[in-house]
Amino acid sequence: MSEFRKFVLIVGVFLLAYFLPVDHPRVESSILEAFHLLQEYAREHVIFCLIPAFFIAGAISNFITQGSVVKYFGSEAKKWVSYTIASVSGIILAVCSCTVLPLFAGIYKRGAGIGPAVAFLYSGPAINLLALILTARILGWHLGIARAVGAIVFSIVIGLIMATLFKKEESERQRTRTHQETDQLETRSPLQNMIYFVILVLILVFAAWGKPEESVGIWNAIYEIKWPITLGLLVVLGYILVKWFNANERSSWVETTWDFSKQILPLLFGGVLIAGFLMGRPGMDAGLIPDEFVSALVGGNSLGANLIASILGAFMYFATLTEIPILQGLIGAGMGQGPALALLLAGPALSLPNILVIRSVIGTKKTATFVGLVVVMATVSGMVYGMITTM
């Protein structure tokens, strides 16, 4: 950070502290909401979502060869293979916009091209199978189908556009990595590596499995037994680590996981605080920006309503599945069908904490391009969908 930027940051914090009307009830509630949301995030997402994701990212960096990543996700890989895998990954992972970040950073730093990596980044939280099912059941089958189709198409189109726009930079990055890195000699068979990663992903999936709205059905049945399953998977993982990995490999895995944590967590926590201050917790209407103000802006199907819904979705923080009851309330308050889809397509995949971390991984220009593409495509999709539903 340059000295001038440091100076601007210090002055900005000083002016905020000096002029912020902390005695105003709305500001007081916003400050409390910031810390309530941070506490909620820490309790519900850090231990059971982010920590497993950090360990998976560390494992990707240490135990997946650069050649393997480049083969399936590199700039020279077959596009139909890389984008197909990346675009449907969220169906398996069922992660939120923050939990996907360590996984994205892991594959990108290991040599994945910007296109497939960004497709994975978008699809991870956007194509959550349970979220798609609940969207169809609660908000209507037509909105559920539109969300599923839109999310898959978005991930592929945005990834292809990013790959085209930054083709020169990515080619240079791939050449640099080829000269700087050599793969370690494999000490395990491909089957052993596959089992190891499957166990890690299953731990993430079951540990993060949320309680469904209904107390019956397969989703609730899995929720009831998720901890015994998770514990059993941890026992299997422990056995694998002792039998298949040496001490240096285990130590390197932990060190890399810690490096990802140091890079990502401070930005995430800061972003969650800001998001909580501005918007509050979902359904609480205690942030600086009132819910009725949001509802008034996204009524109808105008260009402005869809654009605002996309921008709000891009910067708001949605924990997995919370976007559905939020939208249910907004639609009840007069939100149009088009803006509803726009928020569904922009919201779960992006958030202010998410954007801050993405910038630290791929830089300001690529991050701004990615966010802009999501907002523009969500806006256009919302308008088209809104026109179709009003025919």
pLDDT tens, residue by residue, 317-376: 776 666 776 777 677 667 888 998 999 899 878 888 889 889 988 999 999 999 999 999
- 3-class secondary structure, 20: coil
DSSP structure class, residue 347: T
pLDDT of 129 reads 66
How many other CB atoms are found less than 10 A from the CB of residue 19? 8
Tell me how far apart the alpha carbons of residues 144 and 140 are, in angstroms, rounded to a whole number. Answer: 6
pLDDT tens by residue, 111-149: 788 888 898 888 877 776 667 776 787 778 888 888 888
Residue 299, helix vs strand vs coil: strand
Measured distance CA(81)–CA(286) in Å, rounded? 46
pLDDT at 5: 80
For residue 234, pLDDT beyond 80: yes
Residues 6+ apart with CB under 8 A from 350: 97, 313, 314, 315, 371, 374
pLDDT score of 368:
94
If we measure between CA atoms, which residue out of 275, 385, 280, 376 comes closest to residue 339? 385
CB-CB contact of 119 with 159 (8 Å):
yes
Read off the pLDDT of each residue in 299-323 and give the average, rounded to a whole number.
82
pLDDT of 389? 83
The pLDDT of residue 82 = 84
Q: Report how far residue 28's alpha carbon sits from residue 201's, in angstroms, rounded to the nearest whole number.
A: 41
How far is residue 33's CA from residue 345's CA, in Å, rounded to a whole number? 25
CB 137 within 8 A of CB 49: no
Could you identify the residue written with the tokens 């997995």? 320
pLDDT for 186 beyond 60: no
If you average pLDDT over residues 250-279, what whole number do you get? 83
Task: Select, from the ranges 45-49, 163-167, 262-266, the one with the highest average predicted confidence (pLDDT).
Answer: 163-167
pLDDT exceeds cutoff 90 at 240: yes
Separation of alpha carbons 282 and 326, rounded Å:
6
* Percent residues over pLDDT 90 in the chain: 19
pLDDT at 157: 93
Looking at the chain, the whole-number percentage of residues with pLDDT higher than 70 is 87
Angle between helices 114-126 and 66-73 (to 10 degrees): 80
DSSP summary character for residue 75:
T
Give the CA-trace dihedral at 99, 101, 107, 112, to 10 degrees. 130
Q: Which of 41-50, 88-97, 133-142, 234-243 shows the highest mean pLDDT? A: 234-243
pLDDT at 91: 65
Contact (CB, 8 A) for 280 and 318: no
35-39, 182-186, 193-197: segment of lowest average pLDDT: 182-186
How far, in Å, CA of 5 to CA of 8, rounded?
Answer: 5
Q: Give the lowest-confidence range in 247-261, 274-288, 329-343.
A: 274-288
Q: Is 106 strand, coil or helix?
A: helix
Q: Do 68 and 82 form a contact (C-beta atoms < 8 A)?
A: no
Take residue 175 and report the two structure tokens written for it.
């050449």
Per-residue tokens: 57: 């990212």
Neighbour-count burial for 280-318, b at 16+ CB within 10 Å, e otherwise:
bbbeebbbbbebeebbebbebbeeebbbbbbbbbbbbbb
**Mean pLDDT, rounded, for 2-22:** 85
